[in-house]
Structure 1
Amino acid sequence: MTSSTTTTDATVDFFAQRQLECLETLNETTVESSPRSGLFCRGTWDGWLCWPDTAAGTSAYALCPEFISGFDPKRFAHKVCDENGDWFRHPLTNKTWSNYTTCINFDDFEWRQQVRTIYETGYSVSLIALILSLALLSYFRSLKCARITLHMNLFASFAVNNTLWLLWYRMVLADPEVLRNNGAPCIGLHLVLHYFLLTNYAWMLCEGFYLHTVLVSAFVSEKKLVKWLVVLGWTAPGIVIIVYGFLRAYVSRAEDTIECWMNESVYVNILVAPVCISMLLNLLFMCNIIRVVLLKLKAPAGPQGTGPSRTILQAFRATLLLVPLLGLQYMLTPFRPDPGHPYERTYETLSAFTASFQGLFVAVLFCFFNGEVIAQVKRKWRTVFLRTRANSYTATQVSSLRLQFVRCGPPVPGEEKV
């Protein structure tokens, strides 16, 4: 049995159990209560909530389901029983209908839509910047080296992750039916998305480890180092995701396997822990790199120079700026305000900015502000510009010669002979 099949079965079991409890409650109520007089709507299960027997011309009320994203469990949904003793039918579908619109806090809903807009905007801008960065680094072959290879893997990881987040917002969160069906495609998207989310931080760790190794170890084969880092950057997150998927599909409660796994679960810590470990390791690397760089800068330069190279210092500065920024929302997870807290909106807004614009920060610091990349772009621009001017000058000379050749021919009637 596959994980997706098990998850779907768990979701079915969750709602089947609630339906069974509802029917048992309705049967007990029917047996214990005296025979009803007059018209009434019989108790029913609508797929989300259990509605008791309700007198005609009245409405039944129930607390909104807490397992539906966007619903406020402190609010009440209601179901109308018509005068003729039938549950109200929606005019568009002609099916019995429960009113859950009152479960939505529209002020909170609008704010969450704004946060979602921040996420979508940030991921879109970051994706464009990352694609441009990959195009630049791929175009200039003179930039090919171990450090640029790591940068390109980092950019590719962020680009795929941003694309998957945009798909998640457009195809899953925007369609309540997809969440309710909880099918294998959306669960698969959840797992793949979080795999590439982990690769982002794995590759940041690879960047930090590479800088640390190059500066601290005098003799190291960069080719072998990059090969090992490529294996680490792409396979280590896969192991974490396999463990996470197995535990959440086979061990977790039924409530943790509904709505495409988007609900918070204790197993999310399996994903948060590697990110925090990666951030802490990078901070340790940065502290030791700072120590080594300061020692080398203070040391007197020998005949061939003992200080770190300019390119290494540039990469170090970029990484030093980037490491505290990336993963900030995960480092602050233990301090996340409770729902309804005055600082909840501030926290969520800052998290939206830091998470969605990470790709842009990576592209700017490692590519657009990279001195080598800027030099190559300037050199290419000057070459194209000067070549254009040279071609223009050559064309002007040719045109002048042609004009002289024509004017040296037989005189045109009516034209004065010079």
Structure 2
Amino acid sequence: MNDAERIARDQAACDAANNSTAPPDTGLYCEGTYDTWQCWPHTPANSTAYARCPEFVPGFSTELFAHKECTANGTWWQHPETGQPWSNYTTCIAPEDDYVSDIIAVYEAGYTISLVALILSLGILTYFKSLRCARITVHINLFASFALNNALWLAWYGLVVRSADTLAASPPWCRALNATLQYALLTNYTWMLCEGLYLHTVLVSAFVSERRLVRALLVAGWMLPVAPAIINAARRAAAEETLCWADDGPPRPELAVIVCVAVILNLTFLCNIVRVLCTKLRAGGGAGVARPSATALHALRATCLLAPLLGLQYILTPFRPPRTASWWLVYEYVSALTTSLQGLCVAVLYCFCNGEVLAQLRRRWRVLTFRPRANSTTNTTVSFVRSAAAGAGEDKV
């Protein structure tokens, strides 16, 4: 059942319940209403109505109660910022359930660290013109996709997840943020696929135009996620989903397909690259056999390290345990760490541990710290000339 069906069902049930219930005989009262989350009964003026927290909102505990205040003049209390009747759901997160906010804090810390590392990497790779090549161009776009994803996740947690009012109102901007976030998440995987495709093409296909290859990868990396993201947003908009389109359900098919295809193809490329390199290494550099370069071996090591990390999240997702499971909390923390620190791993493997980048940084450091010393031979010659001139002056006197 989608949100629109749930709201229609609950709205009808709430109207029927309130119509069959006599208003309080205490005089002024607030008329029963439905706020798309809960049904609130007729409530006497200057009192508070209570209802159990909804179970479909992520992070809410059904053992707790939300409340809605009826003012002394018989109207529901209105939020000063929106001017609309407001129900207080901020009490739906149990104080003892600090692990929920702790997990969010882990995500925010990981995304922040990754974002800083990615920005530094982008600055380094774009500053040194000597590093400009097809491989670095692919790296730069990969870093940009991760940086965009991390920045959007930080905005999502700060503006939406920590605001029950925003979740309840589900304004257009938060749904647009969710749609953009899904696109940015998909670009991470398409650009990892581009990394694997580039490395595979360069090592396996000797005769290929890198310029044309990079152009094709630029189009694929940024454009392939557009269609799935639009389909996902259109389906959710047609279903009139609320909660800013946030849910803890299984991955959407239109989003999961491109991710699974990217991961499977990357692993396929990796296996073939390992086969080709092993073949060349076993050949022992015989006549007519090109041995793999140090750059290729470094790229291979980076790909080997990144492949399991990038596939880990979607391998575990189908087996996500229920909240009642004993290892649910462990799963959430592991997922938070591996997901939020992917950008940091990308920056470390492809930039901070890159030999060419390190050589450029060392060269720049030597230039900045170099202090030219006075030439001792020149100083001696100048001193001798000055002394001779002074002596000649004395002779004339």
Same fold per TM (> 0.5)? yes
Within the alignment, does 1:320 sit opposite 2:304 as a pair? Answer: yes
**Within 2, Cα distance between the matches of 1:260 and 1:59?**
28
Instruction: Go from structure 1 to structure 2 and tell me whether the alpha carbon gap of 1:78 and 1:378 turns closer, same or farther (over 3 Å shift).
Output: closer
Q: Distance in 2 between matches of 1:60 and 1:171?
A: 28
Aligned match of 1:117: 105
- Given that 2:143 and 2:347 are in contact with CA atoms closer than 8 Å, whether structure 1 keeps it comes out as yes
Cα distance in structure 2, aligned partners of 1:166 and 1:20:
38
Query: Quick check: 2:250–2:317 contact (8 Å CA) kept in 1?
Result: no
AA paired with 1:112? V
Residue 393 (structure 1) aligns with: 374
Partner of residue 70, structure 1: 59
Question: In 2, distance between residues paired with 1:101 and 1:297?
Answer: 62
Report how far residue 312 of structure 1 moved: 0.9
Aligned to 1:174: 162
Residue 272 of structure 1 pairs with residue 245 of structure 2: no
Alpha-carbon distance in 2 for matches of 1:346, 1:104: 20
Please name the residue that 1:369 is paired with. Answer: 353
How many Å apart are 1:191 and its aligned residue? 1.1
The one-letter amino acid paired with 2:15 is: L
The match for 1:5 is none
Q: Is the deviation greater in 302-311 or in 203-212?
A: 302-311
Whether the 8 Å CA contact 2:69–2:77 is kept in 1: the answer is no
Shift of 1:61: 5.4
Residue pair 2:250, 2:318 contacting (<8 A) in 1 also? no
* C-alpha displacement of 1:21: 3.1
- Paired residue secondary structure (2:236): helix
Cα distance change of structure 1 residues 378 and 305 upon mapping to structure 2, 3 Å threshold = farther
* Aligned with 1:206 (options 182, 189, 194): 194
1:54–1:81 CA contact under 8 A, matched in 2: yes
The separation in 2 between residues aligned to 1:320 and 1:270, in whole angstroms, is 27
Match of 1:292 in 2: 276
Distance 1:289 1:69, change over 3 A: same
Q: Could you tell me how far apart the structure 1 residues matched to 2:46 and 2:367 are?
A: 83
Q: Give a deviation string over 1:354-393, Cα, whole Å, max 9, x none.
A: 11111110000001111111122222223333xx322x43
Tell me which amino acid in the other structure corresponds to 1:143.
L
Deviation of 1:288 (Å): 1.1
Alpha-carbon separation, structure 1, partners of 2:203 and 2:104? 41
- Aligned match of 1:151: 139
Answer yes or no: is the 8 Å Cα contact 1:40–1:53 preserved in 2.
no
Matched, 1:105 2:94: yes
Q: Using a 3 Å threshold, how does the CA distance of structure 1 residues 400 and 382 change in structure 2: closer, same or farther? A: farther
- Conserved? CA contact 2:283–2:289, under 8 Å: no
The one-letter code matched in structure 1 to 2:203 is: L
Whole-angstrom distance in 1 between the partners of 2:107 and 2:50? 36
- Name 1:4's counterpart in structure 2: none
**TM-score of the aligned structures, taking structure 1 as reference length:** 0.80
Q: Please give the secondary structure, in 1, of the residue aligned with 2:325.
A: coil
Q: Which moved more, 1:167-176 or 1:281-290?
A: 167-176
Q: Which residue of 2 aligns with 1:7?
A: none
Pairing of 1:12-91 with structure 2 (within 5 A): 18-30=10-22, 44-45=32-33, 47=35, 48-52=37-41, 62-77=51-66
1:49 Cα deviation (Å)? 2.4
The alpha-carbon distance between structure 1 residues 302 and 383, as it changes in their structure 2 partners (threshold 3 A), is farther
Shift of 1:409: 8.0
Amino acid aligned to 2:255: L
Maintained 8 Å contact 1:129/1:363: yes
- Which amino acid is 1:291 matched to? R
Once the two structures are superposed, what CA deviation does each residue of 1:184-240 show, in whole Å capped at 9, x if it has no partner?
211111111111111111010111111111122222221111111111100001111
**Unmatched segments (≥5 aa) in structure 2:** 392-397
CA contact (8 A) 2:277 2:292 kept: yes
Q: Match for residue 234 of structure 1?
A: 222
The reply to whether residue 224 of structure 1 matches residue 212 of structure 2 is: yes
* Matched residue, 1:163: 151
Residue correspondences, number: 388
Q: Is 64-73 or 238-247 further displaced after alignment?
A: 64-73
**Contact 1:46/1:98 (<8 A) preserved:** no
Q: Distance in 2 between matches of 1:122 and 1:206?
A: 24
Question: Amino acid of the residue matched to residue 334 of structure 1?
Answer: P
What residue number does 2:314 align with? 330
* The one of 269, 281, 290 aligned to 2:265: 281
Query: Are the counterparts in 2 of residues 143 and 373 from structure 1 also a CA contact under 8 Å?
Result: yes
Percent identity over the alignment is: 47
User: What is the aligned-residue RMSD (CA, Å)?
Assistant: 3.7
Is residue 311 from structure 1 mapped to residue 300 from structure 2 by the alignment?
A: no
**Contact 1:43 1:54 (8 Å CA) reproduced:** yes
TM-score (norm 2): 0.83
CA pair 97-270 structure 1, distance change in 2 beyond 3 A: closer
Quick one: which amino acid aligns to residue 299 of structure 1?
Answer: A
Deviates more, 1:199-208 or 1:67-76: 67-76
Inter-partner Cα distance in structure 1 for 2:281 and 2:173? 54
Change (3 A) 1:357 1:111: same
The answer to whether the 8 A contact 1:150-1:226 is kept is yes
> Which structure 1 residue ranges, 5 or more long, are not aligned?
1-9, 411-418
In structure 1, what is the Cα distance between the partners aligned to 2:379 and 2:161? 64
Structure 2 vs 1, CA of residues 282 and 98 (structure 1 numbering), >3 Å: closer, same or farther? closer
